[in-house]
Chains A and B, each alone.
Chain A
Amino acid sequence: MTEFSIIGKPTAMVDAADKTTGAGKYTDDLSVPGMLVGKILHSPYPHARIKSIDTRRAEKLDGVIAVVVGKDAPKTYGILPVGHDEYPLALDKVRYVGDNVACVVATSEAIAEQALELIDVEYEVLPAYFDPEESMKASSDLIHDNKPNNLEKDYHHAFGDPDQGFAEADEVLEARFIANEVTHAAMEPHSTLASFEIDPHTGKPGRLTVWSSTQVPYYLQHKLSLVLEMPMQQIRVIKPLVGGGFGGKSEVIPIEIIAAVAARKAQAPVKITYTREEVFWAHRGRPRTIIDLKTGVKRDGRITAVKARVVQDGGAYCSYGVVTILYSGALLGALYDIPNIQYDGYRVLTNKPACGAMRGHGTVNVRFAFESQLDELAAKIGMDPAEIRQRNLLQPPCITVNGLRVQSYGLPECIEKTVDRSGWMQRKGKLPKGRGLGIACSHYVSGAANSIIRSDMPHSTVNIKIDRDGGVVVYTGASEIGQGSDTMTAQIAAEVLGCSLSRVRVIAADTDLTPIDIGSYSSRVTFMAGNATLRAATEVKKLIAAAAAKKMGCAVEELVFRADAVCKLAGESSPGHNPPGPDGRMRPSPHGSPSPTVSGHVEGQILRGSLQQKRKDEGPKDQMTFEEAVVAAIDFHGALTGTGSYAPPQEARGGKHKGGGVGPSPAYSYSAQVAEVSVDEETGEVTVHKVWAAHDCGRALNPVSVEGQIIGSVWMGMGQALTEEMVWKDGMLMNPGLLEYRSPSSIESPEVEPIIVESVDPEGPFGAKECSEGSLAATIPAIANAIYDAVGVRLHESPFTPERVLAALRAKKNAKTLNLTDGIDPTSPKRFREHGGSLWFKGKGPERHELDPARSEAPAGGAD
């Protein structure tokens, strides 16, 4: 570790002060002169044809500037080139409760809301599909006319010889697992501000600037160009601070386009910010997934074959669906050595908000099923659950049966360390009744090896400029969304150039200023934008080194860049490093050395340049300050800029089979976790006490961030495992609020002990890989397995709510199932939960059953 001066040290994020003082600006914090407010009218029906829209009454309201409808931008778009099935505003049909019908632009939010009530829409209600398995049988009233059986896409893969594999197995298990739908619920609601500027030559509206809460500014620029029919270079997308994404902002969300269309029609800047309820409708979360899984093992623990049939309830539009269903199959490989895999995946359309990419995209729900079943198989053959995982390790470097290249592989160490730290060997099976331990593993890509838009362009490009003041400016299209992307970029640049972090300024995610980066998704930023930064910085360093070597009269190879100085190898002074804090952990030291030494030449070099230096520096010397070296390089080369780009190598781009483009990655992260839980057998309540989470991130560039990402992933996995669930009734979301959705608070959140494992990937920047998503998938099965250890029930459906745990406990005892929803509402499905009092807009709810108490005007109970 001592070989590095910046990376590997806990570092406060470069934008930390902006965030802790409230000074940082998120999209909704922005305003421009003359800005108007947009509000969207949503569909009250899950599936209906729009017969007519009459906006005249709304337009007459004082303060309303424009009302935008589908006809104002009748162009389709979608994040995937194969899935251009969305209009910014519905043209002829609405496909879910919450679908976008019209947008009012007004001088205030209150007026806009009032105007929404005045828009008259005539609908012809169509039969709707809510269950994917029912939806697949549909022959009429299809959700999209070009998708027979409401099937977005299906894939059927067989690798190796699955039948032979099952024939060789000593034990085979087959079961159905269901993971219910969850959503990102990032703290910042989506927000977009769009503004046109007038072209000085034509005098007409010209360039468009869009500030948006997005993970993918470049894709947004591209989709805006398609829908608005404007050239991309006339559109500037700026990403201000983003308040969390988790995948929810990794594609173009309707408001991002609607705001621009509205600004065009209203001829003024328009900002639209979703309410929390609208965020839930915008969704793009993790689909409800039905997994029929069959696994065979030999008595020695070796897995012989896996067969998975996966049905995903994708909602009304394609979104990332085709990719999600492919990830679910592809990532059966690359964790363990599985010789035979059969995969049948079905992405199904239903009349609910579209599902898309969410942290651990595609792999999480299948991993829950697989790791649960592996646990059962271990019990069947009488093997320790940790050991069965160790029996199935890959032998990298290798290419898996489904064409995934694996190089660095820290899984063995992850298992070893979690087992060790959790006291697995001493405690497993010896805890008091109702308390248990469970183990599970997972992995994830460090960026997709193939971009969504098929082309040979680099996935990341980074430019660096250094001027005579010795300041390093890094221009990157990578999107900081809270994960530390800007800090990672600054760290890598500073490490390569041997300068302090305070010298480095990162300009990011502004399509006018920064070179293309395809965005923050699939955990690609550290690996790809990091590599591009490394290359750009190395290029600049070469220029500086050439000039410095000339000045110092030595060879380039003899120079060392360190601690804001360039020195000859022999004369290198060892830069001080931070001693560990009192608790033995490294104290965070945000900006390198506490007070970066400023060269005495600063004024002279700017004012009089090298002449003065030449006078002062008689003859060659052993050391130059960073500024001196920079000035020398600018004098020598004329300008000091560098550029670097990254495209995944051809060998890492996967197999040739249909759909083989999804799943391959230049490197995979690995995770192993042990969860300790207790289960209250009276109430069915599960408490997670602690999770030990080891994660192989290649190399931890910023340990405090890596730990934060591991803890955050585990925590989000725990939310999905225990409480989070989108509950639907007739296509209507029953819990569109943060409390009703049950995002865990500090009270419900366990201690997570992050354990960093560094396998040093041969292609990662300084060996680094993904650390923000891979841990999530292991948490759900680790908790499921711990519940089994605690009370002996195997849960096949997440989240493991008290209701489900209790039902499983009672089933085990052959007791009658308690129907907790009895008598509440005759039409309610089994999973009904009372609507939590969120802001359903007035009087526009869907048709309710005649016995539904919500239908009666007076309060059901009367007085008192």
Chain B
Amino acid sequence: MKKELIELRVNGRTNELAIEPSALLLDVLRQELQLTGSKRACDDSSCGACTVLVDGVAMMSCTLLAASCEGQEITTIEGVSEHGSLAAIQKAYGDWGGAQCGYCTPGFIMTVKSLLAENPDPSEADVRAALSSNLCRCTGYNQMYEAIRSAIAAEKSESRRASLDRTGECARPHTSSAND
């Protein structure tokens, strides 16, 4: 199939790519852009290991045409770390055992990011419902809930500190993820 030139915005950067119109977003991310954090585990949107955010919405990139994402803002797991450090949710997943083999972890973290952007204070039932789009074979999910609770608490105390700091000079630039 003849390749076409597209512009794909991933993690805040624009990439000009020549891809087949039938190329899947996951393959383009992994093979063209070497962003291998998004994983292929099932081929058919069963497991969510390939979850990325497309304009802030969690989508499974293994069944999404890359060409259809032109003009949209794609965020992958590689775009989650903040200023070279772990985001609260990444830190919490490590500390609380939310990740064991880690293969499903990027997908889960993207799903949680999208959940928290929509609902910053989810109930346990909300979390369970949101996570059901992804599968994990190691953890039995229990420690993920603890991680998410802890990340929410950390974010809260962080934003409290940020609002106190705002009067000061050296307030950290706050990246708002709730854009659009």
What residues of chain A have their CB less than 8 Å away from a CB belonging to chain B? 10, 12-13, 15-26, 28-29, 184-189, 241-246, 273, 275-277, 481-484, 587-588, 590, 704-705, 707-708, 711-712, 714-716, 737-739, 743, 745-747, 749, 751-752, 837-839
Contacts and interface: CB of A to CB of B under 8 A. Distances in A.
A242 B43 contact: no
Contact of A244 (B89, B100, B134): B100
Given A187-B104, A482-B102, A746-B141, 8 more contacts: A189-B41, A244-B100, A708-B139, A711-B142, A738-B41, A743-B135, A747-B128, A749-B142
B135 A243 contact: no
Given A21-B37, A25-B36, A737 B44 contact: yes
B66 interface: no
A276 B42 contact: yes
Contact of A746 (B96, B103, B131): B131
Contacts of B136: 187
**Would you list the 6 A-B pairs with minimal beta carbon distance, nearest first?**
A22-B37, A482-B101, A19-B102, A715-B140, A243-B103, A16-B94
Contacts of B101: 19, 186-188, 241-245, 481-482
B41 A188 contact: yes
A186 B101 CA distance: 9
A251 to B, nearest CB: 18
B95 A19 contact: no
Contact of B106 (A12, A22, A752, A837): A22
12 contacts: A16-B102, A21-B37, A23-B37, A25-B36, A187-B39, A242-B101, A704-B143, A712-B139, A737-B46, A745-B134, A746-B128, A746-B132
* Residue among A189, A707, A712 having the largest count of chain B Cβ atoms under 10 Å: A712
Interface in B113-135: 127-129, 131-132, 134-135
* Residue among B40, B135, B136, B140 having the largest count of chain A Cβ atoms under 10 Å: B140
B93 A715 contact: no
Contacts of B30: 29
Contacts of B127: 746
Interface string B45-57: 0110100000000
A16 B36 CA distance: 16
B90 A188 contact: no
Contact of A188 (B39, B91, B129): B39
B47 A590 contact: no
B137 interface: yes
Nearest to A14: B94
Contacts of A23: 37, 78
A245 B30 CA distance: 23
B151 to A, nearest CB: 11
Given A21-B86, A244-B101, A26 B94 contact: no
* Residue among B41, B101, B141 having the largest count of chain A Cβ atoms under 10 Å: B101
Contacts of A28: 36, 39-40
A588 B96 contact: yes
A20 B93 contact: yes
B82 to A, nearest CB: 11
A482 B103 CA distance: 9
Given A749-B140, A751-B142, A24 B102 contact: yes
A823 B94 CA distance: 51
A17 B103 contact: no
B76 interface: yes
A708 B176 CA distance: 33
B38 interface: yes
B90 A21 contact: yes
Interface in B79-101: 80-81, 86, 89-91, 93-97, 99-101
A560 to B, nearest CB: 29
A15 B43 contact: no
Contacts of B35: 22
